């Protein structure tokens, strides 16, 4: 089944999320960006785990080591996802932050609720199928609208990652945080946009020498892979 068939078949499910999380950005109105929350319904039940990947990635490690991270999920964690490496959500939730100066929402790692980047997703489909909490949000659009109003989320535009970010503010227990080296985002768009004093706190990855997966988001060039060659004299 191709993507057009899928989006047509599940249009009724996907449409509410498109309404809530695409804003004026036509690119993210494509149903493709809203399929991940519904894969547990789309795929047959004998498929229990899925890794979803953006196309602008390069692995410098065996993907089986990424798959092994499913074993680190605790009982409540159903989705593995990395933090956003820029102050995107610091910006988008500025009004909530202004009215709630003690909040951690939008703050950088390790203690801030930074928001997510969905370029790499680990989906435990069996757990998602069994999660009454997660499925309630998918089936009841008013619950999502309630969260949007609570956090003054007036300009969502990044598809499924906006959904996961918003849910994490209320239900951190659903998410396993992938290490930054399994989604090393290279985009620097927000550098020089008024957040220079904190930008490095978001962008920094402490395991820079051991990156397992590079993400060339924002059309950023992925650095050349260094291959150590044995030279015989």
Lowest mean pLDDT among 4-18, 94-108, 206-220: 4-18
Domain count, the chain: 1
Residue 55 lies in a domain: yes
- Whole-structure pTM value: 0.91
At residue 2 the predicted structure's pLDDT band, cuts being 50, 70 and 90, is low
Residue 231 lies in a domain: no
Residue 228 lies in a domain: no
pLDDT given at position 233 = 38
Residue 121 lies in a domain: yes
20-58 pLDDT, tens digit each: 877 655 555 667 778 899 999 999 999 999 999 999 999
Range of the domain at 147: 3-219
Higher per-residue pLDDT: 229 or 116: 116
116-160 pLDDT, tens digit each: 999 999 999 999 999 999 999 999 989 999 999 999 998 888 889
Alpha helix stretches (DSSP H) within 107-219: 125-130, 132-139, 141-150, 160-170, 199-203
Residue 192 lies in a domain: yes
At residue 5 the predicted structure's pLDDT band, cuts being 50, 70 and 90, is confident
Query: Which CATH number belongs to the domain containing residue 79 in this structure?
Result: 3.90.550
Contacts of 185 (CB under 8 A, 6+ apart): 82, 84, 85, 86, 117, 119, 215, 217
Residue 133 lies in a domain: yes
Residue 39 lies in a domain: yes
**C-beta of residue 77 within 8 angstroms of C-beta of residue 168:** no
179-215 pLDDT, tens digit each: 999 999 999 999 999 999 999 999 999 877 799 999 9
pLDDT given at position 201 = 96
pLDDT given at position 229 = 42
Q: For residue 179, what is the DSSP state?
A: -
Residue 229 lies in a domain: no
C-alpha triplet 79, 138, 30: angle, nearest 5° = 85
């Amino acid at each position: 089944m191709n993507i057009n068939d899928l989006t047509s078949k599940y249009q009724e499910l996907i449409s509410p999320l498109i309404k809530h999380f695409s804003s004026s950005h036509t690119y993210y109105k494509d149903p493709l960006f809203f399929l991940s929350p519904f894969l547990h319904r789309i795929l047959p039940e004998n498929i229990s785990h899925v890794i979803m990947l953006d196309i602008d990635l390069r692995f410098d490690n065996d993907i089986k080591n990424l798959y092994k991270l499913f074993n680190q999920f605790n009982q409540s964690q159903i989705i593995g996802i990395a933090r956003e490496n820029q102050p995107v959500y610091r910006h988008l939730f500025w009004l909530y932050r202004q009215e709630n100066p003690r909040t951690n929402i939008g703050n950088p790692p390790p203690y801030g609720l930074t928001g997510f980047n969905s370029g790499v997703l680990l989906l435990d489909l069996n757990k998602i199928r069994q999660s009454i909490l997660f499925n309630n949000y998918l089936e009841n659009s008013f619950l999502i609208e309630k969260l949007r109003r609570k956090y003054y989320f007036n300009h969502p535009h990044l598809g499924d990652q906006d959904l996961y970010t918003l849910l994490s503010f209320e239900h951190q227990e659903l998410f396993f945080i992938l290490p930054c080296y399994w989604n090393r985002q290279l985009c620097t768009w927000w550098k020089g946009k008024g957040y220079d004093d904190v930008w490095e706190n978001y962008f920094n990855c402490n395991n820079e020498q051991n990156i397992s997966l590079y993400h060339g988001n924002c059309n950023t060039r992925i650095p050349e892979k260094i291959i150590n060659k044995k030279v015989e004299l």
